[in-house]
Chains A and B, each alone.
Chain A
Amino acid sequence: MLRTLLTDYTFQTVSLGAALLGLVSGVLGSFAVLRRQSLLGDGVSHAALPGVVSAFLLTGSKNTEILLAGALATGLLGTLLITAITRRSRVKFDSALAIVMSVFFGGGLVLLTLSQRIPDANQAGLSRFIYGQASALLQRDVILMVICGALLLSVILLFWKEFKLLCFDPQYAAALGRSTGFWSLLLSFLTVLAIIIGLQTAGVVLMSAMLITPAVAARQWCTHLWSMVTLSAVFGAASGVIGTAASSLIPQLPTGPTIVICVSAIALVSLFIAPGRGILARALNRSRGRARLVMERRDGHGPFN
């Protein structure tokens, strides 16, 4: 059964797509989590909906490239609006994010009802962006993902030092005379691109999990940025493949949610068993410390004697 699965063309396409999605969002998600901007992904993916629908309304085409270009446009617009609201008023980041994502999503719904009125335009192709439909991935979609993913990763590698500094010490970066605004915008732009790539696989709601959860899992094991980013990418890609396999083997198991369950399971396990930092390690450490204290007191050379 596994062999027939592995040689199955659709499975190959879909799992490759899911693995790519996991890999790219794992890398970008690490930066988002470290910069405390995890939920930006949630906002951007919701803000992409009106872009998808208006691209369809304007061009009448359901080509993935065109729809995703529209998504990219409104996703970026949403990000810029959030930044502008936070910088220029006393409304905080969380409120700006919540407003932008829900209002854009509402706009998307309005446009969706408009698109339904166009004769012989069934919106099936559009609603896959809300819930995600990995099984509808085509080879050309995967090729698009490969190109965008390679582009993203090379930009990350190229400006690794700048992004690292931005994550851990933006004040120092500013003091060095680097334009933190520019780098932060570039990183947000890359994150938006990663989200857009994953949108048709994971859908609006679950995309944020693909961004955050692998990074949260990887953070438990690592103390270096490069190892965290690598591990996060591995976690993301692995859950992409495992999730796709599970959903093809078990009937009526939707791919996107299954991938999210996989990656959440990895995160949960990591939270418990990660060495040094994990919940079990800390509990063990505490009980050891307690035992040592008891022993020292009995032997009479502890700190309290």
Chain B
Amino acid sequence: MDMAPSTEIQIIAVLIGAACALPGAFLVLRRMSMMSDAITHTILLGIVLAFFVTGDLSSPLLIAGAAVIGVLAVWLTELLRRSRLVAEDAAIGTVFPLLFSIAIILISRYAGSAHLDTDSVLLGELAFAPFHRLTIFGVDIGARGIYVGAALLLLNVVVIVLFFKELKVSTFDPVLAAILGISPTIVYYGLMTLVSVTAVGAFESVGSVLVVAFMIAPPASAYLLTDDLKKLFWISAGIGAATGLVGYQLASLWDVSIAGMMALVAGAVFLLAFAFAPRRGLISGSLMRRRRRRDFAAYTLILHLYTHGDGIFSGTELAQQLRWDLSLIDRVCRSLIKAESLTTLDGRYALTNAGILRCHELIETLFASPRHQPAAPTNSPSRG
């Protein structure tokens, strides 16, 4: 197969981006995102150890060794946490630097001559990916990264489709999962194996630190955009793939690190989702809070008028009684007059008939016992 190197790099970027986002979605949902950090750092030790066994840097055993060590790191963390002597976050933070340190010491003492440098594992370099060819019977069939990426994506899709129910139930309701006979341990370690294998496959292209960005940022963005698990996967994988493509384009435009640029794009997508996501975003959230505050002030004011005698007060009287600023009273009253719930009688405020009706509705929805009104929409009272 003959492809331009840039095409090959882009295909790899898209495949890796989509493949990493899938298992990452479960990490985000299970609040275990930092486990990806621990796993990606310990991969180095696995590669070093497997290298000592095989003495060959291109051996597939290196990948297997790295994946096994990744799971071992998870197991050690779990062991430490189970002892209940160490909290979970501290357990993660104790285990992976130790394994990483062992790897660095092994490299600097024994593997100095072999071209096994920490740079390429930690940072990765996608630009070199087209140089690693896959040959079958002496025929060059394309960059190895493409096949690795495709295999990872396929593996993740197959595992998630096959065990969708198990993964879903054990993520959202571990107790129900246990009752249904789904072993939490098997699901947990299965998932961690998937994360570990994906991280190992991806580090060669993007470096182990940035694998974290691809695993966590797209699903976290998708998490702000949807409540549906299936959609979450589609959106995550889509964002991951797009991130790879856009990241590569920008990197070649400015001639900078491809993997670094992809991570930046992933971060930018998350920031956009964080700011602009409908319902879950920063802006819509603060708008909603403002509306709720306004509604609450309006309800308080008309209920105050309703429950106090003839309910005709001037602005200053209201300000004294409710201990609000006069400006707030003015603002709330103006909006209530516009909604025709309030009217002015020579400078004083009084409820209109519509306002009284609205008070009745409010009292019904706010104070009705749930037995009589099982479906009362308490969080969004209807407006008159």
Chain A contacts to B: CB under 8 angstroms: 33, 36-39, 41-42, 46, 85, 88-92, 94-110, 112-114, 117, 130-131, 205-206, 208-209, 211-213, 215-216, 219-220, 252-254, 256-258, 260-261, 264, 267, 271, 277-279
Structural contact, B94 and A206, CB atoms closer than 8 A: no
Contacts of A208 in B (CB 8 A): 93, 97
Measured CB to CB, the nearest residue on chain B to A250 is B109
A91 to B24, CA, bound (A): 14
Segment from B1-9, B206-214, B232-240 that makes contact with A: B206-214
Q: B210 → chain A, closest Cβ, in Å?
A: 5
A263 to B270, CA, bound (A): 37
Q: B96 → chain A, closest Cβ, in Å?
A: 8
Task: Say which residue of B87, B209, B254 sits within 8 Å of A36 (CB atoms).
Answer: B87
Contacts of B41 in A (CB 8 A): 205
Contacts of B356 in A (CB 8 A): none
With A109-B123, A110-B260 given, is the CB distance from A206 to B85 under 8 Å? Answer: no
Task: Say which residue of A105, A215, A219, A257 sits within 8 Å of B263 (CB atoms).
Answer: A105
With A92-B31, A110-B256, A257-B102 given, is the CB distance from A103 to B94 under 8 Å? Answer: no
Structural contact, A113 and B256, CB atoms closer than 8 A: yes
Structural contact, B108 and A39, CB atoms closer than 8 A: no
Q: Mark B212-255, 1 if CB is under 8 A from A, else 0.
A: 11011100100110000000000000000000000000010011
Chain B contacts to A: CB under 8 angstroms: 28, 31-34, 36-37, 41, 80, 83, 85-87, 89-90, 92-94, 97-98, 100-102, 104-105, 108-109, 112, 118, 122-123, 207, 209-210, 212-213, 215-217, 220, 223-224, 251, 254-257, 259-264, 266-267, 270, 274, 277, 280-282, 285
A205 to B102, CA, bound (A): 13
7 A-B pairs (CB sep. < 8 Å): A98-B36, A99-B266, A101-B212, A108-B260, A208-B97, A209-B93, A252-B108
Structural contact, A209 and B94, CB atoms closer than 8 A: yes
Q: B243 → chain A, closest Cβ, in Å?
A: 11
Structural contact, B263 and A106, CB atoms closer than 8 A: yes
Structural contact, B33 and A94, CB atoms closer than 8 A: yes
A279 to B80, CA, bound (A): 11
A220 to B85, CA, bound (A): 7
Contacts of A112 in B (CB 8 A): 257, 260
Measured CB to CB, the nearest residue on chain A to B223 is A91
Contacts of A209 in B (CB 8 A): 93-94, 97-98, 101
Measured CB to CB, the nearest residue on chain A to B44 is A205
Structural contact, A41 and B93, CB atoms closer than 8 A: yes
Q: A154 → chain B, closest Cβ, in Å?
A: 26
A112 to B264, CA, bound (A): 14
With A99-B216, A107-B260 given, is the CB distance from A257 to B85 under 8 Å? Answer: no
Task: Say which residue of B28, B282, B285 sits within 8 Å of A95 (CB atoms).
Answer: B28
Contacts of A98 in B (CB 8 A): 33-34, 36-37, 212-213, 215-216
Structural contact, B105 and A257, CB atoms closer than 8 A: yes
Structural contact, B105 and A254, CB atoms closer than 8 A: yes
With A88-B285, A98-B34 given, is the CB distance from A113 to B94 under 8 Å? Answer: no
Structural contact, A99 and B270, CB atoms closer than 8 A: yes
Structural contact, A216 and B90, CB atoms closer than 8 A: yes
